[in-house]
Copies of this chain bind each other. A is one copy, B any other.
Amino acid sequence: MKSARAAVLPPEPAGSQVEAAYWRLRQEIICGNLAPSAKLRIDLLRQSYGFGASALREALSRLVSDGLAEAEAQRGYWVAPISREELNDITMARQSVEVEALRQAIRFGTLEWESGIVAASHSLERVETSMVKPTPETVAGWEHANRQFHMALIAGCPSRWLLRFTASLYDQWQRYRHRTVLRRAIPRRGLSADHKELIRLTLAREADAACAALSRHIEDTARKAEAAIFESIPIKAGPNSARRKSGKA
């Protein structure tokens, strides 16, 4: 039981303080505990999470490179803002990059790749089936399983750069979707028709159809998130989200 649990929890490879700080902050940003556009004050984070100042600076640096945070010299760090425009941008970019990665995966993928898809979809199905109510823990497990599934789909792509970009975009996307997961109704039990079809077409190596299905899937989920975030009840924007729009000097 315990090992089965561990497998669905998000990994936090803490080989060093910096890594630990990086993964922690990353998680906090993605799941919204650190709200978009919030100021990230070093000494405050220091006492909140118990990391050293240097480690935090280094972690924040990496988050800036990932596009999860922003920095201005001598002014400090902020959580990257979110907006309808950027959600659309992320969606469009995924439709370019992730779909191309899938195409190449279908073209070059090995048996090992196919097995990975089957394994990941099994995990995802199991998690979805056992998730009766969305709590922070089950949601974290589901998000991890879903990420693993999407990565498994394209893992057969031989281009390490496309894979890297895809992962980067997926993390960005998760920031948006996370805000919609907690409020949505109890999820269906088992994989969605979307996913099943995507798996079938991919394993059948029907590239065009599979790519179209993935593109549609990306579009649909993004539209739902867009509606949930920007058109229904606006979630607390946070009082500390003041950010100079600033023309630079």
Contact = CB atoms under 8 A, between A and B. Distances in A.
Given A15-B74, A16-B74, A100-B96, A158 B89 contact: yes
B89 A159 contact: yes
A45 to B, nearest CB: 16
Interface in A1-28: 15-16, 18-19
Interface in A44-89: 54, 57-58, 61-62, 64-67, 73-74, 86, 89
A161 B88 CA distance: 11
- A interface residue count range (under 10 / 10 to 19 / 20 to 34 / 35 or more): 20 to 34
B161 A19 contact: no
Contact of A73 (B15, B54, B66, B97): B15
10 contacts: A54-B54, A58-B61, A61-B62, A61-B65, A67-B161, A89-B159, A92-B159, A93-B159, A97-B97, A161-B172
Interface of A: 15-16, 18-19, 54, 57-58, 61-62, 64-67, 73-74, 86, 89-90, 92-93, 96-97, 100, 158-162, 164-165, 169, 172
